[in-house]
Structure 1
């Protein structure tokens, strides 16, 4: 079974997806980390973010994998081509680059194949931008999670503070979120949009535990159907 959680940057998708997966005993796949890994690899090796061919080659030929602790369905480590990138893919440079990288159709096509391969191995909660519309259009449960611009920026700043990675300047983070929204929603290939049959959830002002519980309840019913 697949639970697809889509939504814009900073909406809380990763937090919610990991909690839902843990509660339901599913595996969890953070597709954003995959695009971030490609972006980091390109920056690290001096590859232009406009070089679609080279970026597509990275996505197709540099395997991305996740590390799990025993008994934990949520991945805690990220690797590309065998190199751990768990922390370095959360820097401000990668934040600014990932939407440009993910707009290239060849990158999306290559990572789509990896995502489908990984998810074929069991029950998954998968979060991203086009999971319910493109990657898994037949997912048993689709969720589109969003929040106000200011709330998303506030959450991202807090997350960056806790991790010690990325910008903690509210205005800078807000501007980056708005820029990414525009890029993600206007790209020709797999733009950010809610699936027609998605459950729409605005988490602004809501206790995140309530959001998680609502998705779990819907997921449990979908399992029984």
Structure 2
């Protein structure tokens, strides 16, 4: 079943009025929050492709599937009844009518999602879903900011603007630790390491998101606060649109 957006009444835009921004990056780089803010300020739609893998992971676990059974997980991916909202201020996700926005952020999903995201058959299916969604969202809202791991290189290599959002390991660990545990003390950092460094290492076996590909602009947020990170990305987007 194909993922759909939940705004069928949105007015269509012609292709030459649409802007597609692809943003990749590792965990803790600020990718999701910055992408949502950029989409909001550009007044376009938003797509969190990582949430799609998380939603599939949740769906598989709810159905009692063994995530190491790659064929069964690939079938589940093709059948996944997924609906994605493209509103960057309220990016809701439902699976078979169940809201899963909070559930897919639970630790059990974070610890399991790499087994799904590194399944090549799943990635092939998700790539097609994501390309369809990017087109639908851009048509509905005049553009889209799509973020993930392989958007700049595999899913949308022809995007108008392609950005690798990155940060030092220390900065990424501190950000994610505060998000998950409310602190970046030594204990919290160690509890977070598995979900950041280890997961990135696993995911990097199937997608490259640590080094920018040709034509992709790197934005390092290590020493930037949130507003500065958003502005840095907006500057790249606006320069890219003007150049195009």
5+ long unaligned stretches in structure 2: 1-18
Q: How far apart are the structure 2 equivalents of 1:197 and 1:148?
A: 22
Distance 1:81 1:18 in 2: 25
1:169 aligned partner: 188
Asked if 1:139 corresponds to 2:159, the answer is yes
Relative distance call for 1:101 and 1:52 in structure 2 (3 A) is: same
Structure number with bigger Rg: 2
Question: 2: distance between equivalents of 1:120 and 1:26?
Answer: 12
Whether 1:214 aligns to 2:229 is no
Question: What CA distance in whole angstroms lies between the structure 2 residues aligned with 1:195 and 1:125?
Answer: 18
| Deviations 1:26-72, CA, capped at 9 Å, x for gaps | 1110001000001111122211111111211222111322236xxx5
Shift of 1:73: 4.2
Tell me, yes or no, if the aligned pair for 1:10 and 1:156 is still in contact at 8 Å: yes
Aligned residue in 2 for 1:159: 179
Q: Distance in 2 between matches of 1:223 and 1:192?
A: 23
Runs of 4+, deviation exceeding 4 Å: none
In structure 1, the residue matched to 2:109 is 94
2:144 counterpart of 1:124: yes
Q: Which residue of 2 aligns with 1:182?
A: 201
TM-score relative to the length of structure 2: 0.82
Is 1:201 the equivalent of 2:219? Answer: yes
Aligned to 2:31: 13
Matched position secondary structure for 1:169: helix
The answer as to whether partners of 1:150 and 1:174 remain within 8 angstroms in 2 is: no
> Aligned pair count?
215
Aligned to 2:5: none
Q: 2:96 aligns with which of 56, 62, 81?
A: 81
Verify the 8 A CA contact 2:54 2:104 in the aligned structure 1.
yes
1:155-185 superposed Cα distances (whole Å, 9 cap, x missing partner)? 11222247xxxxx932121133111121111
CA offsets 1:117-139 (integer angstroms, 9 cap, x no match): 11112111011000000000111
Output the CA distance in 2 between the equivalents of 1:204 and 1:214. 12
Q: Distance in 2 between matches of 1:191 and 1:105?
A: 14
Identify the residue that residue 67 of structure 1 maps to in structure 2: 85
Please say if residues 29 and 75 of structure 1, whose CA atoms lie closer than 8 Å, have aligned partners that are also in contact.
Answer: no
Q: Contact 2:23–2:145 at 8 Å: present in 1 too?
A: yes
Pick closer, same or farther for the CA change 1:81–1:191 going to 2, 3 Å: farther
- What TM-score, normalized by structure 1, do the two folds share? 0.88
Change over 3 Å in CA distance of 1:174–1:36 after alignment to 2: same
Q: CA RMSD in A?
A: 1.8
Contact 1:149 1:174 in 2 (8 A): no
Cα offset, 1:217, TM superposition: 2.2
Deviation (angstroms), 1:186: 2.1
